[in-house]
Amino acid sequence: MERTTIKRWFLHKENGMKGLKEKSIKTILFLSAISAVIVIFSIIVFLLKDGYSIFGTAGIWEFLSGTRWNPTGEPPVYGAFSLIVGTLLVTIGAMVIAIPLSLGGAIFISEIATPRMRAIIKPAIELLAGIPSVVYGFFGLIVLTTWLRISFNQPSGESWLAGSILLGIMAIPTITSVAEDALSSVPREYKEGSLALGATRWQTIRSVIVPSALSGITAAVILGIGRAIGETMAVMMVCGNPTYGLIPMPITNIFAPLKTLTATLGIEMGEVATGSNHYHALFGLALLLLVITLVVNIIATLILGRLREKHQSSLKKRVRLPHEISKKIKQSFYLFMGIIIIWILIISTGVIPAVGIVALAVAVYYLMKKISAKTMQYIAFSMITLAILLVIIILCIILSYIIVNGAGAIITPGFLTEGISNLGRSGGIFPAIIGTLYLVIGAIAIALPLGVGAAIYLNEYTREGKITKIIRTGADLLNGTPSIVFGLFGFAFFVLYLKMGFSLLAGQITLAFMILPTIIRTTEEALKSVPQSLREGSLALGATKWQTIRKVVLPPAAPGVLTGAILGIGRAAGETAPIMFTAVVFSSFIPQSVFEPVNALPYHLFILATSIPGSKQNQAGTALVLLLLVIGIYLIAILLRNRYRKTMKW
C-alpha cells in the first residue's frame, strides 16, 4: 500500500517535472512564434512615432496630394504625390516587361520543356532571384543607361524606361517561379480531357490550363508588383531622381527621369538632420510605402488562400451572372480599354500613326482568326520560346559583363586579402568581405532559433486557429516589407532609440528580422513533410511531445531547415538597404566588437559605382565577388533541397 503511494508520488513528481519542462519549452516556442508579429508591429509603431508628426505639420491631404517634394526649401514643401506616381509608373513599366516574359517562361517550363530542360532552367531561374539588387543597379548605371542614351539619342539615359527595364528583369524570377507552381498544380485530368477531345496543346494551355491556374498567376503578378514597389537600390541608381519629384509630361514620356518613394528614402536618409521636419517627412514616406506594399501583399495572400480553399473543396459553386449580361459587361470593358489605348497612342505618337497602328492591329486580329489551330500553336510556341530565350540572353549579357570586367580585378594579387586604399580605386576588398561575413553570421544566429522555434510552434503545438492566423499574417507582412523600411526602422530603433550607433549589432538584428519570414516558411514546409505516423509512433511509445519533436521530427526535417537558413544567408549577404543606415561605413576597418561599424560588399559596390570615379575595375571585381558569393550560397541551397527531395522516401 505504502509502496504504491510512494511510487505514485514519484511518478507524479516526475510527470510534474516533465510537465514543467514541456510547458516552459512551449512558452519559449510561443514567444519565438510571436516574434514576427512583434517585429512587424514595432516597425509600424516606430514609423508612426517618427512619421506621424509630418501629417500634422504638412497636413495629411497636402502630404498625399502635393506634387512637389522640397523638404529643404524655404518654405519647405512636403508633397509626396509625384513620388507615389513615380513609384507606380516604374512598377507599371516593369510589369509590362516582366509579365509577358515570365508567363512565357512559366508556360515553357511547365508545359513545353522536356524534363531535362526543366531540370536546368527551373533552378537557373531560381538562382536569378538571388542576384543582389545592387548588382543590377551597377549594371544599369554603367551599361543600360549609356546604351539607352546613345541608341535613342536622349540627353540622358537615366530615366523611367531604364528603371522599368531593370525592375522588370528583377521581377521575372519571382513571377516565373510562382506562376510555374500554379500551372504545374493544375490537375492532370483537365489536360488529358482537353487533349482527348481533340484540342491542340496550345488550345489546351490557353483555354484549360491557364484559366485554371489564373488565381495563382494573379498572385504571382501581385507578388512581383510588391517586389518592384519595394525595390530601392537599382531604382535609385538608374531612374535619374529629379529633385522635387516629377510627373512626366506627357505621361507617356518614357525617357523622363522619375523619383520613387524608395529612392527618396535611400538618397536623403543618409544626410538628413535627425529630428528635423525633413526627417519626420522621410518616415512619413516610409509609412506610405509600407502601407502600399502591405495592401499589395495582403491581396496576394488572400488570392493564394482562396486558391488553396478551392483546391480543397470544389463543391462550392460560384454564383454567375447570366451569360447575356456578362457578355455585355465584357464587351463594354474591351471597348473602354480600346479607347484608352487609342487615346494614349494619339497622345504619344500623333493622329496619323495612331490610326495606322489601329488599322494594323485590326488587320492582325482578323488574320489571326483565319489561322488554323496548328499554325496558331506553332506561332504561340515560338513566341513562348522567344520569351524564355530573351530572358536567358538578357541574363547572359548581365552576367558576362560582370564576369569579363570583374575577372581582371579578382586575379589581381591582394584583391581578396588586402584593405581598401585610395578610396577603393586600388587595393582590395578584404574588410568588406569580412564585414559581410560578420553581418550574415550574426543575422543567421539571431534569425535561425527564432524562425525554427516559430515554425515548430506553428506546426506542432497548435491547431489552425486565430493565433496561428495572426502569426502567419505577421510573417507574411514581414516578408512583404520593403528592405529600405527595415533600414529606417533599424535606424530609428537600434541606432537612435537604443543608442547603439552605427554598429555591427544593429545591422545584424535588422537583417535577422528581414530574413525571419523566409526561415519560418521553409522550416514549416520541412516539418510538414514529416509524416504524421512517425509522430504518433513516438508518442505511443511514451515519449513526450518535446522528445518526439527533438528526436523524431527534427532530424529528417534538418536538411529542409538548413535550406531555409542558407536562403536567408543569401538574402542577407546581398541586401544593401537595411544596413545602409544601421551598420555600414565606407572605410577599411575591421570591427573588434559588435558595437563598431563595418563595411560590407553590397554597400562597398554601391559607393564605388555611384561615388568613386576611376574605380571601374574594382567595381566590377566587387560585383563579381558579391555575385559569386550569393549565387554560390543559393546554389548550395537548391542542390541541398533537390537532393533531399530525392532521397526522402517514406
Partner 1 sequence: MSKIRRGVKQRTSRTLITGILVIFVFSIILLSGCLQRQEGLPIVVIGRDSASGTREFFWQHVMGKENFTDNLREKNSNGGIYITVTQTPGAIGYVGLSFVDTGVKVLKINNITANATNILSGEYPIARYLYFFTKGNATGATKEFIDYIQSTEGQAVVQEEGFVPLPTSNPYNATGKHLSGTLTVSGSTTVFPIAEKAKDGFMKMYPELTITVSSTGSGAGITAVGQGTVEIGMSSRDLKSSESNLDLVKYTIASDGIAIIVNTQNTYVESLTLAQLKSIYKGEITNWNELQ
- Specify the residue, 358 or 534, whose C-beta has the smaller distance to partner 1: 358
What are the backbone dihedrals phi and psi of residue 490, each rounded to the nearest 5 degrees, phi first? Answer: -60, -40
Give whichever of 142 and 516 is closer to partner 1, judged by the CB atom. 142
Q: 47 φ, ψ to 5°? A: -65, -40
- Stretch of residues binding partner 1 (CB under 8 A), selected from 28-36, 87-95, 312-320, 353-361: 353-361
Q: By C-beta, is 302 or 364 nearer to partner 1?
A: 364
Closest CB to partner 1 among residues 240, 453: 240
Distance of CA 606 to the CA centre of its chain: 19
Closest approach of partner 1 to the CB of residue 121, in Å? 24
Nearer to partner 1, 262 or 481 (CB): 262
* CA dist., res. 341 & res. 354, Å (int): 10
Rounded to a whole number of angstroms, the minimum distance from the CB of residue 65 to partner 1 is 17
- Which of 239/296 has CB closer to partner 1? 239
Q: Measure the CA angle with vertex 444, ends 442 and 449; round to 5°.
A: 115
Cell numbers standing for residue 446: 539571431
Minimal distance, residue 153 CB to partner 1, in Å: 6
Question: Interface with partner 1 includes 417 (CB under 8 A)?
Answer: no
- CB nearer to partner 1: pick between 280 and 472: 280
Write out the binding residues for partner 1, residues 70-89 only, by CB under 8 A.
Answer: 70-74
**C-alpha cell belonging to residue 473:** 499574417
Residue from 155, 322, 413, 465 in contact with partner 1 (CB under 8 A):
155
User: How far is Cα 167 from Cα 297, in angstroms, rounded to an integer?
Assistant: 18
The interface region with partner 1, picked from 7-15, 168-176, 357-365, 565-573 by CB under 8 A, is 357-365
CB 375 to partner 1: min, Å: 5
C-alpha cell at 429: 576588398
Name the residue nearer to partner 1 (CB basis): 345 or 530.
345
Residues of span 228-257 touching partner 1 by CB under 8 A? 240-244, 246, 255, 257
**Counting contacts by CB under 8 A, is residue 156 touching partner 1?**
yes
Best CA proximity match to 257, nearest among 244, 239, 237:
239
Q: Which residue has the cell 489571326?
A: 368
Please identify, using beta-carbon distances, which residue of 544 and 587 lies nearer to partner 1: 587
Question: Taking a C-beta distance cutoff of 8 angstroms, is the pair 205, 223 a contact?
Answer: no
Is residue 600 a contact partner of residue 572, using CB atoms and an 8 Å limit?
no
Task: Give the three cell numbers for residue 145.
Answer: 543607361
Indicate the residue among 28 and 361 with the shorter CB distance to partner 1. Answer: 361
- State CA 613 to chain mean position distance: 31
Whether the Cβ atoms of residue 257 and residue 240 lie closer than 8 Å to each other: yes
Contact segment (CB under 8 A) with partner 1 among 204-212, 314-322, 326-334, 493-501 equals 493-501
Sole binder of partner 1 in the list 326, 375, 400, 417 (CB under 8 A) = 375
**Is 502 a binder of partner 1 (CB under 8 A)?**
yes
C-alpha cell at 428: 582590395
Task: Name residues contacting partner 1, limited to 573-632 (CB under 8 A).
Answer: 585-587, 589, 596-597, 607, 610-614
158 binds partner 1 (CB under 8 A): yes
Residue 378 touches partner 1, criterion: CB under 8 A = yes
Paired residues of 420 in beta bridges: 427
647 near partner 1, judged by CB under 8 A: no
Least CB distance to partner 1 at residue 385 (A): 13
| In the complex, least distance from residue 283 CB atom to partner 1, rounded to whole angstroms | 14
Binding positions for partner 1, 321-350, rule CB under 8 A: 348-350
**CB nearer partner 1, residue 461 or residue 589:** 589
Residue with cell 510556341: 381
Nearest to 455 by CA among 539, 522, 373: 522
Size of interface with partner 1, in residues (CB under 8 A): 68
Q: Is the peptide bond before 250 cis (omega within 30 degrees of 0)?
A: yes
What does the alpha-carbon distance between residue 509 and residue 516 come to, in Å, rounded to a whole number?
Answer: 10
Please report whether residue 367 would count as binding partner 1 according to CB under 8 A. yes
CA distance 266 to 279: 12
Nearest distance, CB of residue 174 and partner 1, angstroms? 27
Residue 161 buriedness (CB in 10 A; 0-12 / 13-18 / 19+): buried
From the list 57, 522, 549, 558, the residue with the least C-alpha distance to 275 is 57
Instruction: Spell 201-235 as b/e; 16+ CB within 10 A means b.
Output: bbbbbbebbbebbebbbbbbbbbbbbbbbbbbbbb
Nearer to partner 1, 259 or 571 (CB): 259
Fill in the per-residue mask, 526 to 555: x = in contact with partner 1 (CB under 8 A), - = not in contact.
------------------------------
- For the CB of residue 255, give the shortest distance to partner 1 in the complex, in Å: 6
Amino acid 511 reads L
Output the nine-digit C-alpha cell for 65.
Answer: 496630394
Whether 265 contacts 285, CB under 8 Å:
yes
Nearest distance, CB of residue 502 and partner 1, angstroms: 7
Q: Which of 43, 20, 17 is nearest to 509 (CA)?
A: 43
Span 253-282, contacts to partner 1 by CB under 8 A: 255, 257, 259, 267-278
For partner 1, give the closer residue by CB, 16 or 73. Answer: 73
- Distance, CA of 514 to CA of 133 (rounded, Å): 15
Give me the residues that bind partner 1 (CB under 8 A), please. Answer: 70-74, 145-146, 149, 152-156, 158, 240-244, 246, 255, 257, 259, 267-278, 348-350, 353, 356-357, 360, 364, 367, 371-372, 374-375, 378-379, 382, 423, 496, 499, 501-502, 585-587, 589, 596-597, 607, 610-614
